[in-house]
Every structure is written in C-alpha cells, then in structure tokens.
C-alpha cells in the first residue's frame, strides 16, 4: 500500500478547509490540528467526532 506524504495530507486538508469556508463556515486551528491527527492515524474518526461534539455542547 502506498504511503501518503505529509505534503499530500496538508494539501487535502487545505482543499477541504477551502471548500467549507466557501460555504461560509470557519475551521479553527485546533480543528485543523485534530483533522491532521486523524490523517496521521493518531486519532480515530470516532474520537474526532466525540471531541467535536463535546466542543459544540460546551
């Protein structure tokens, strides 16, 4: 299986952020960091969702 480079991960995240921001939403630096942790395998998608839900209900 091919390894995805850090540069490719950052480019994918930048594209996703740009798309979200074109819709009028803002992605914080903390949220971008959490997304990179998922892309790096340091955080699962389920853990990410749990963290984001907790941030929304505080």
Exposed e or buried b per residue across 1-39, where buried means at least 16 C-beta atoms within 10 angstroms of its C-beta: eeeeeeeeeeeebeeebeeeeeeeeeeeeebeebbeebb
Note whether residue 16 is domain-resident: yes
pLDDT tens digits, one per residue of 3-58: 889 999 999 999 999 999 999 999 999 999 999 999 999 999 999 999 999 999 86
Whether residue 1 is contained in a domain is answered as no
Condensed to tens digits (0 to 9), the pLDDT of residues 20-31 reads 999 999 999 999
pLDDT at site 1: 61
Q: How far is CA 53 from the centre of its chain?
A: 14
Domain region containing 32: 6-57
Total domains, the chain: 1
């Amino acid at each position: 299986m091919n390894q995805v480079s850090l540069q490719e991960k950052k480019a994918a995240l930048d594209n996703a952020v740009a798309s979200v921001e074109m819709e009028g939403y803002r992605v914080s630096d903390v949220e971008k960091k959490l997304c990179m942790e998922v892309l790096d395998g340091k955080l699962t998608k389920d853990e990410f969702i749990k963290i984001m839900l907790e941030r929304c209900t505080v």
